[in-house]
Structure 1
Amino acid sequence: MSSKEVKTALKSARDAIRNKEYKEALKHCKTVLKQEKNNYNAWVFIGVAAAELEQPDQAQGAYKKAAELEPDQLLAWQGLASLYEKCNHINAKDDLPGVYQKLLDLYESVDKQKWCDVCKKLVDLYYQEKKHVEVAQTWHKLIKTRQEEGADNQELHQLWKKLTQLLAESTEDQNNETQQLLLAAFENALDLSDKIPSEDHQVLYRQFIHCLSKFPHETARLKKACEGMINIYPTVQYPLEVLCLHLIESG
């Protein structure tokens, strides 16, 4: 089989996939592999066709083979991610974070939007697994990237606010690094609020103070936050109540 014939067979496989003739595509790919067992495109096309034929094991094997052959090419990693997202494959839960990490590496210098999209998917996985440190670190990197890309204050406010939502319910399970990222997220979200005073800003301030009240080592920060909220919302009793309770408990 000549090089020209290999190209023709690959084109036939691609056309078959476009026409949803997946079994035909597999035949063309296997013909190519008899001649070139390490043909990257043939393995990727097998992955695509097998996935469409609901043969996840074959699809996974093909994509992984392609990724081993050309680890810095996107197609195989994109195929693996799509496969794991769509089906309850036995390896999906364990392998998908690593696939996303590889996609982040590949997208970082070529497509920031796709990098951000994959980053959010990775955070969702970490959140489901209750991996608080990874949630905080990955989302923090997303915010830093958006800052470097020139995101406006409204978007950054929403990103910082989202981080508080991701972490605020799990403070008892967090290490110090994660707690500090959470508190910094509250402070940044408050600073970037576009309407002060406002109902949303007041709610966020209450959540920040409530969070601080859980950390005995953050007394100075708690006092500063309560005083800050009192200055902006003098008729709101909550920060004063928290301060009084803290003074009573600390003797």
Structure 2
Amino acid sequence: MTIHSGGGARILIIDDEPQIRKLLKVTLQAHRFDIHEAEAGEAGIYQASIVHPDLIVLDLGLPDMSGMDVLRRIREWSSVPIIVLTAKEREEDKIAALDGGADDYVTKPFGMGELLARIRVALRHVASSVQEPVLRFGPLVIDLAQRLVELDGSRVKLTPTEYDLLKTLATNAGKVMTQRQLLQQVWGGHHYESDSHYLRIYIGHLRKKLEEDPTRPRFIETEPGIGYRFLSQD
């Protein structure tokens, strides 16, 4: 991650609502981020190409083109973290955006505290993208080289599929992983909503082995109707 003037990361806001852009700009600048703005999709794509932001906040409802099209266009040449802003009831938009390459989403109306937390997680994930051989999440330790998992100093026995699922979630800690993404990365091939019961079963297995109270998980959080998020234990 590049550090720019003001001491923070460079963030591009693509949103057609002036009030939202002003709120984001004032708040994020107060947290020492370097802010750039665009009020439409084409302008946002152009800004992304010349500004080279460290992170993009993208509204899916834009006047000139779909926010999904902006996401796809940017993903053709950049892996910059993208957090999308979505309408509250549009669950399918959240899934499509995550499957299309977004790193996270925040639902409108949103609290700035929540958005700031999402931004920090996304930037931290990029900063630590050089994969460490050992991942540590409080009492949980995952040794990627040895394929070993320990909890509170004791070895946790996992099946190969359980380990692959845990590894996929943990290496994307803080990010929402959709059901389709997890099915493709862990089981491979093409999977559909009808296959999601496999995922629920294995998530249940992991929670029984890792969580003190599987009904109140501290590691694997359910994003209802969308997928799962591995909590980064900050």
Global fold match (TM > 0.5): no
Which structure features the higher share of strand residues?
2
* TM-score normalised by L of structure 2: 0.31
Which structure features the higher share of helix residues?
1
Which structure is higher in RCO with an 8 Å CA cutoff and minimum separation 6?
A: 2
* TM-score normalised by L of structure 1: 0.30
Larger Rg: 1
